[in-house]
Structure 1
């Protein structure tokens, strides 16, 4: 079973307020586990990337080109799937046991890692070739630093998903 606590064991679920417990349907032990924190970091990076892409990248979509679309699709896909996994794991120990031991999580994280690395590389190319020259001549051109930060965070997200894929593969193979 899961290493973060199993329902029905000695650990009560939810949050204790005065003399009662609330939110007993949520497994907070999972959220505070290594895997839960990794999922939260993946979500945080996806949200930051998506926010920067929309605020600073979309107005210059004609300069950035398909690198913007590629990165937007990557963050949207990875964010949505990670949210669904996190919700499933928080509300159901059974989901954690079934999904984590299947090949789905390994394949998703491996694919997410490849997508983040490729879209971050493409965005890095677009930043150097198309945005950096504009940054040098236009005062207040914030698209270049924002997109640079975005592709660095994309590499970090790709690394997190690669680590998660490795851990999921070990779990799939029966090594915990």
Structure 2
């Protein structure tokens, strides 16, 4: 039986990405946290992923806390944006945990097209969902906000679609970084 379906890390990419350094944090005469991929945390990809997780969590919190009362007024735009945030946030969080726990996983995933396609998908869905919820909230919530300025749903939804636009840009940058890494392997 052939092992042609097994993805292997080329030896030159291991040495290029991870030079012969000791893993973990040195405390006195011993090293701790040697099972974590601390080198990944200083990369551009990790910083973008942390930012995407924080911004996605803010979007999720605003949607749940303030947007649920206006979900019927906004309609499908609310559910579209909420689905986008949930899917992209959970996938980014899973990738971040896997990369932090295993350098091998990070090196193997960079050789596949998965992260590039996911980041492009997230960029597109955030852009379209932000546009959709922006138009829907301006047409349905803004008149209600003008009549009763105590309504907190409209400012929260405005914040959500601005954060969604920022997330779209971040996922686009992450896709570009993934593409450059993918082409170099």
The alignment's TM-score, normalised by the length of structure 2, stands at 0.86
Q: Segments of 4+ in structure 1 off by > 4 A?
A: 2-5
C-alpha distance in 2, partners of 1:97/1:3? 11
Match of 1:53?
63
What residue ranges of structure 1 are gaps of 5+ in the alignment? none
| Structure 1 residues 121-158: Cα deviation after superposition (integer angstroms, max 9, x where no partner) | 01100121011111111131111111001100000101
C-alpha distance in 2, partners of 1:152/1:89? 29
Match of 2:132?
122
Does the 8 Å CA contact 1:47/1:79 hold for their aligned counterparts? Answer: yes
2:35 partner SS: coil
Question: Are 2:27 and 1:28 aligned?
Answer: no
Q: How many residues align?
A: 173
Does the 8 Å CA contact 1:4/1:30 hold for their aligned counterparts? Answer: no
The alignment's TM-score, normalised by the length of structure 1, stands at 0.91
What residue ranges of structure 2 are gaps of 5+ in the alignment? 1-12
Does the 8 Å CA contact 2:142/2:154 hold for their aligned counterparts? Answer: yes
Aligned in 2, Cα 1:4/1:123: closer, same or farther, shift over 3 Å?
farther
Does 25-34 or 52-61 show the bigger shift? 25-34
Does the 8 Å CA contact 1:4/1:33 hold for their aligned counterparts? Answer: no
User: Once superposed, what is the RMSD of the aligned Cα atoms?
Assistant: 1.9
Match of 1:68?
78
Pick the structure with greater CA Rg: 2
1:59-98 correspondence runs (5 A)? 59-98=69-108
Aligned in 2, Cα 1:4/1:174: closer, same or farther, shift over 3 Å?
closer
